[in-house]
């Protein structure tokens, strides 16, 4: 059991895109809890609903998308202020604006497209500080320089007056992180933050995120395809498939004792996890179209263990041990039996 405080609790989150062909169920019953001072990695193939989950927390789902009634994204930051938890799924735009960029902030994969090319990077950081806090321009500039230093930018007093195009991709990503950190967020959402960067910069950014968690107690959601990255920085992992979490566990437990056939498939297909000379396998088939989801387990068509039962109904939560849960019929009667092949 974690002793850390809860930062966000997601229950039955459903996000549908209402299209001409019908409802595309991008997220369909997602649930998880995030804690202070912990990094939760969300992994899964493209189209599994990772980014839409993040966008929901940030109140950035727009039409034709809709966070469906009954969904709960309870933000606990308010509880510390003596208020009730705020359900971000139903909060007003104003309530979300007060929190976004401030208590909850985000870094995206493409820093260049998130930074404004015609505004100096320092001014962009200062603006974010001044929107949320009552500080003078001088004070905000001092903070911007100090933040640029914190994220490992040398000569921050010079870089503060640079435009994004004068900086490399890695530097821009650091600027984005500085901006995301400018208001000491309780929750940082990082969506593939290192995918576009070379390995050296990637390692630096990941260690920066670790430092942030340890020093400030920030709760971090890391969205990634890369299980190698997960192994380096995550405390807990949610494996998502077709809009749902299919397995959740502390990182060491997940790597040592993966249960869901999809998790095992992902691990067997990761070059970064293979031993030298070990043959990589791929998971045949593809993620189902969220417009046409099957009646039973969404993974059944690709699963080597699928039975008729799996095609007829949805698996429910099986607890393997504390904080390790799996949604798979293989485990419904037995608590700790391994799937062959791992
Ligand atoms: N504006 C939209 N209209 C219709 N469907 C959408 C829209 N945005 C996202 N989707 C659908 O939602 C599903 C989940 O997308 P999402 O971007 O969350 O996946 P992801 O797991 O983050 O993938 P990736 O790793 O490629 O970023 C996808 O099937 C996608 O087609």
Mean pLDDT, the chain cut into blocks of 10 residues (342 residues total): 81 96 94 94 93 93 95 87 84 89 84 83 93 91 92 92 91 88 89 78 82 89 90 94 95 96 90 58 85 94 94 94 94 60 42
Q: What is the structure's pLDDT at 170? A: 83
Q: Are the C-beta atoms of 210 and 38 separated by less than 8 Å?
A: no
Count of other CB atoms within 10 angstroms of residue 267: 17
Residue 55: both structure tokens together:
């966008």
DSSP secondary structure of 249-318: EEHHHHHHS--SHHHHHHHHT-GGGSPTTPPP----S-PPPTTS--SS-TTGGG-TT--HHHHHS---EE
Cα of 81 from ligand 1 centre, angstroms:
35
238 close to ligand 1 (CB < 6 Angstrom): no
- d(Cα 142, Cα 144) in Å, to the nearest integer? 5
CA of 52 to the centre of ligand 1 (A): 6
Q: What is the DSSP letter of 36?
A: T
pTM: 0.89
Please name the residue whose Cα sits nearest to atom 31 of ligand 1.
47
Question: Taking the domain 6-103+187-331, which CATH number applies?
Answer: 3.40.50.300
Contact 27, 15 (CB under 8 A): yes
Is 113 a pocket residue for ligand 1 (Cβ < 6 Å)? no
Residue 205 host element (H or E): helix 199-216
- Residue of the nearest CA to atom 14 in ligand 1? 49
**CA 293–ligand 1 middle distance (angstroms):** 14
Q: What are phi and psi of 55, to 5 degrees?
A: -60, -35
Q: 243: CA distance to ligand 1 center in Å?
A: 9
The ipTM of this complex is 0.96
Residue 201 · residue 214 · CB < 8 Å: no
CA dist., res. 193 & res. 89, Å (int): 25
Q: So what's the pLDDT on residue 57?
A: 94
Please give the distance, rounded to the nearest whole angstrom, from the Cα atom of residue 287 to the centre of ligand 1: 12
Rounded to whole angstroms, what are the CA distances from 158 to 7, 59, 119, 149, 294?
36, 35, 15, 11, 56
User: Which of 47, 66, 68 has the most ligand 1 atoms within 8 A of CB, as the residue to mutate?
Assistant: 47
Give the other-Cβ count within 10 Å of 277's Cβ.
Answer: 5
**Segments of the chain assigned to CATH 3.40.50.300:** 6-103+187-331
Answer whether 44's CB lies under 8 Å from 50's CB.
yes
């Amino acid at each position: 059991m974690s002793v850390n405080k809860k930062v966000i609790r997601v229950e039955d989150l459903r996000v549908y895109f209402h299209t001409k062909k019908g409802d595309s169920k991008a997220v369909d019953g997602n649930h998880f809890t995030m804690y202070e001072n912990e990094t939760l990695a969300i992994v899964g193939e493209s189209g599994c609903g990772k980014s839409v989950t993040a966008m929901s927390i940030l109140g950035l789902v727009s039409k034709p998308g809709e966070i469906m009634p009954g969904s709960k994204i309870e933000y606990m930051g308010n509880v510390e202020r003596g208020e009730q938890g705020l359900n971000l799924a139903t909060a007003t735009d104003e309530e979300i604006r007060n929190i976004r960029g401030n208590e909850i902030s985000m870094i995206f994969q493409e820093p260049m497209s998130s930074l404004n090319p015609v505004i100096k990077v320092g001014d962009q950081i200062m603006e974010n500080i001044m929107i949320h806090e009552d500080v003078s321009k001088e004070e905000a500039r001092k903070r911007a320089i100090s933040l640029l230093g914190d994220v490992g930018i040398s000569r921050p007093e010079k870089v503060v007056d640079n435009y994004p195009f004068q900086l490399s991709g890695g530097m821009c990503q650091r600027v984005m992180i500085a901006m995301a950190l400018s208001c000491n967020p309780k929750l940082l959402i990082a969506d593939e933050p290192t995918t576009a960067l070379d390995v050296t910069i990637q390692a630096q950014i990941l260690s920066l995120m670790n430092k942030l968690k340890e020093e400030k107690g920030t709760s971090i959601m890391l969205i990634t395809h890369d299980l190698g990255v997960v192994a380096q920085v995550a405390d807990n992992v949610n494996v998502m498939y077709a809009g749902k979490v299919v397995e959740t566990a502390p990182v060491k437990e997940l790597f040592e004792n993966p249960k869901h056939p999809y998790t095992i498939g992902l691990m067997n297909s990761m070059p970064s996890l293979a031993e030298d000379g070990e043959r990589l396998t791929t998971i045949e088939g593809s993620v189902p179209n969220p417009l046409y989801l099957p009646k039973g387990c969404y993974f059944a068509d690709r699963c080597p263990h699928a039975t008729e039962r799996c095609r007829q109904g949805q698996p429910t939560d099986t607890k393997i041990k504390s904080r390790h849960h799996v949604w798979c019929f293989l485990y419904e009667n037995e608590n700790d039996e391994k799937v062959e092949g791992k």
